[in-house]
A = this chain, B = another copy of it.
Amino acid sequence: MKKREAPPEDGPLRADAARNRERVLAVARELLARGDSSLQMNQIAREAGVGVGTVYRHFPARQDLLEALVNEHLEALLDKAHAAEASEEPWSSLRRFLRAALDLQLADIGLAEILNAPRDAHARTSQLKAELFATSGRLLERAQRAGVVRPEVGAEDIQRLMCGIEHAVRIGGGERRVVSERYLIILLDGLRPTSG
Q: Are A186 and B182 in contact, with the CB atoms below 8 A?
A: no
User: A residues 140-196 with Cβ under 8 Å of B?
Assistant: 150, 152-153, 156-157, 160-161, 163-169, 171-172, 182-183, 185-192, 194-195
B182 touches A157 (CB 8 A): yes
Docked complex Cα distance between A1 and B1 (Å): 8
Query: How many copies altogether?
Result: 4
Cβ of A40 within 8 Å of any chain B Cβ, yes or no, is no
Q: Which residue of B lies closest to A187 (CB)?
A: B190
> A116 within 8 Å of B by Cβ?
yes
Which residues on A are within 8 Å of B, measured CB to CB?
Answer: 1, 116, 150, 152-153, 156-157, 160-161, 163-169, 171-172, 182-183, 185-192, 194-195
